Amino acid sequence: MEKCALSLHLPGYLATLKRLNRAPSTIRGQKEALGLFVSFCVERGITDPASLTVGVVERYRKFLSERRARRSGAVLSASSRINLLCAVREYCRYLTKQGHMLFNPALAVELPKMGRHLPRVLSAAEAERIVRVQNRVPAIELRNRALLEVLYATGMRRSEISGLDLADVNFESGTILIREGKGGHDRVVPAGRNALVWIQKYLKESRPLILSTFTDCGALFLSTQGERGRMSTDTISHTVTSSRKRAGVEKEGSTHMFRHTAATLMLENGADVRFVQQLLGHRELGSTQRYTHVSIRKLKEVHEKTHPARFRREP
């Protein structure tokens, strides 16, 4: 990337985020998002913060609406575009406070509208088919089974399961400690009997084989790629997607679909929404309440079976 004032101020901004105890994943995301914005500006001869105008940010918003994701080739979702534009807003706010800009031009640019899409969820039968998928390599099959059982039982984010260490699993209490989840907050979640059984089996029979002669990094789930260290978020997503396809489940989705599924099935089976909020690590109850809209299907089934209108005779 060409050196310019816009990029020279980036390290200071990222250091500020670190001082504010923002999660490492958040800082990495901001760095990537702002790298894209700075590149966009440099290609158009805009290198100084003082040159940023509402028109420039508006052009960037239009640029994002036409941009396609590198992997899937699909147009960026509204949520992705909102995240990228919000990163620009926060960076411009920082530059304004530092005296490099007179005002924040990004505040005048309207964010994309988010459609009210209900989360895609699996049925209990579909989830069971996925976690039971077999692999040709026994050691990998055991690791994947333990990984999928933990995802299904806890609804963890992929970054959270990637960050798990051996010491985070407490077999006596039947819980797992999630360190620095979203927002940098720790939480303890119940693991569930099945997940604990498969973790123990993986630790005893599979993990030593995957580790082989390499130094143990202490991660719970090990990768067989590269230096055989901690499973990356991308490897976890690939593992879940591959298992879903081999199980013959056609619903598109990966790790987050298990998160949606855990929340929805618990609500359908009578769990209080605040307990689900605690499990998922949502700071705001509204983030969890979106799942109550998905669990309406259970209410619909009960309604159709029991509502008096069903027995009313038509004239």
pLDDT for 4:
82
Same domain, 77 and 136: no
pLDDT for 234:
87
Q: pTM, whole model, 2 decimals?
A: 0.65
Range of weakest confidence among 9-23, 153-167, 179-193, 257-271: 179-193
The pLDDT-based confidence of 93 (bands split at 50, 70, 90) is: very high
Q: Whole domain around residue 103: which residue ranges?
A: 5-108
Same domain, 100 and 141: no
The CATH number of the domain holding residue 65 is 1.10.150.130
Rg (CA), the chain: 23
Residues sharing a CB contact under 8 Å with residue 119, sequence separation 6 or more, in sequence order:
256, 257, 260, 264, 290, 291, 294
Same domain, 138 and 215: yes
C-alpha 148/C-alpha 139 separation (Å) is 14
C-alpha 30/C-alpha 25 separation (Å) is 9
Q: How many domains does the chain have?
A: 2
Residues recognised as catalytic: 157, 182, 256, 259, 282, 291
Same domain, 135 and 237: yes
Summarised one tens digit per residue, pLDDT across range 13-61 is 999 998 888 878 788 889 999 999 999 999 999 999 999 999 999 999 9
Asked whether residue 2 carries a pLDDT value surpassing 50, the answer given is: no
